[in-house]
């Protein structure tokens, strides 16, 4: 393997940047390709069968083009639906992003935890399994919001976020004052961490980014990295990003924009 073989991050949009940020802190010289399926965005309102076919096919094309050493599906929706299909299709390590129900249950005192994701994620059997295995003695409240995904994209593109829109999007969880932990089960949502803290002040937030960064560091621990990495690449399946979004991508070390 060459020292410049990248890690490929994949999401429907900018949500995976919340995963990339932790990984870059752990591995500052890693070469990065960040792929956003902007032509397929949003994922959370799409049927399972469509995503189960689309995500492995796209990742196959991305792997052919960029020859990554590792793929990170930085998207809960794609992971909970398509992780097994992607692993079957690719001959390299694939790290998924799954709702952080286990750490939330470990930390909850009230035994009431919220799972805030996309509509597609919160209805997945994957979430039933995690709840049964790690939170059997908790009440697990599930709430899906496409609006929050849209707001996450808007914030990264430099738009002002109306706190009332955030409050409206999480209203059913805000009513449950006995919920002391909320799992941010969509990678777009940590981008709205501050706004969500204001809307759900009684619940501590947990997401999967730190665990994924540790997993990436473990899987690549014996591998070389360039001493001086070149700028990371952001690749889009749809229209090129707006200028404010390009500036934000630059802040995450993604200075080259490409189109798939």
Instruction: List residues with catalytic annotation.
Output: 75, 186
Residues 132-171 that bind ligand DGL (CB under 6 A): 149
Q: Judged by CB under 6 A, how many residues of this single chain contact ligand DGL?
A: 17
Determine if 41 is a binding residue for ligand DGL (CB under 6 A): yes
**Close Cβ partners of 16 (under 8 Å, ≥ 6 residues apart):** 9, 10, 34, 36, 72, 74, 75, 187
Residue 55 or 199: the one with the smaller Cβ distance to ligand DGL is 55
Residue 5 or 75: the one with the smaller Cβ distance to ligand DGL is 75
Determine if 187 is a binding residue for ligand DGL (CB under 6 A): yes
SS (H, E, C) 142-185: EEECHHHHHHHHHHHCCCCCCHHHHHHHCHHHHCCCCCCEEEEC
**Close Cβ partners of 205 (under 8 Å, ≥ 6 residues apart):** 181, 182, 184, 190, 193, 196, 197
Q: What is the rounded distance in angstroms from the CA atom of residue 96 to the CA atom of residue 51?
A: 15
CA distances from 131 to 4, 6, 125, 141, 206 (A): 39, 34, 10, 10, 15
Q: What is the rounded distance in angstroms from the CA atom of residue 33 to the CA atom of residue 257?
A: 10
Least separation in angstroms between residue 125's CB and ligand DGL is 16
Determine if 77 is a binding residue for ligand DGL (CB under 6 A): yes
Q: What is the largest CA-CA distance in the chain?
A: 53
Residues 218-247 that bind ligand DGL (CB under 6 A): none
Contact stretch for ligand DGL (CB under 6 A) within 69-77, 132-140, 175-183, 192-200? 69-77
Among 12, 38, 108, 124, the residue binding ligand DGL under the rule CB under 6 A is 12
Residue 42 or 114: the one with the smaller Cβ distance to ligand DGL is 42
Least Cα distance to 117 among 156, 59, 78 occurs for 78
Determine if 81 is a binding residue for ligand DGL (CB under 6 A): no
Provide the annotated binding site for substrate.
11-12, 43-44, 76-77, 187-188
Determine if 186 is a binding residue for ligand DGL (CB under 6 A): yes
Q: What is the rounded distance in angstroms from the CA atom of residue 86 to the CA atom of residue 129?
A: 20
Residue 225 or 260: the one with the smaller Cβ distance to ligand DGL is 260
Please give the backbone phi and psi of residue 109, each rounded to the nearest 5 degrees, phi first.
-95, -35
Determine if 195 is a binding residue for ligand DGL (CB under 6 A): no
Determine if 43 is a binding residue for ligand DGL (CB under 6 A): yes
Among 108, 121, 124, 131, the residue binding ligand DGL under the rule CB under 6 A is 121
Residues in touch with ligand DGL (CB under 6 A)? 11-13, 15, 41-44, 75-77, 118, 121, 149, 186-188
């Amino acid at each position: 393997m060459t020292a410049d073989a990248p890690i490929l991050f994949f999401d429907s949009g900018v949500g995976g940047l919340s995963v990339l940020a932790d990984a870059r802190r752990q591995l500052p010289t890693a070469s990065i390709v960040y792929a956003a399926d902007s032509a397929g965005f949003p994922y959370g309102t799409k049927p399972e069968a469509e995503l189960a076919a689309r995500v492995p096919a796209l990742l196959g094309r991305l792997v052919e083009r960029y020859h990554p050493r590792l793929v990170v599906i930085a998207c809960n929706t794609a992971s909970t639906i398509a992780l097994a299909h992607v692993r079957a299709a690719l001959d390299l390590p694939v790290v998924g992003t799954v709702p952080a129900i286990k750490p939330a249950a470990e930390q909850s005192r009230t035994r009431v935890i919220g799972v805030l994701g996309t509509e597609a994620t919160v209805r997945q059997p994957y979430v039933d399994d995690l709840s049964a295995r790690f939170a059997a003695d908790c009440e697990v409240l599930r709430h899906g919001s496409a609006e929050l995904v849209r707001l996450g994209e808007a914030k990264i593109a430099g738009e002002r976020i109306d706190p009332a829109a955030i409050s409206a999007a999480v209203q059913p969880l805000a009513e449950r004052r006995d919920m002391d932990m909320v799992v941010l089960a969509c990678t777009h949502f940590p981008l709205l961490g501050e706004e969500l803290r204001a809307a759900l002040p009684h619940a501590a937030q947990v997401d999967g980014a730190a665990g994924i960064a540790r997993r990436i560091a473990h899987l690549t621990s014996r591998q070389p990295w360039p001493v001086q990495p070149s700028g990371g690449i952001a690749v889009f399946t749809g229209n090129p990003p707006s200028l404010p979004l390009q500036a934000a991508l630059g802040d995450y070390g993604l200075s080259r924009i490409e189109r798939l």
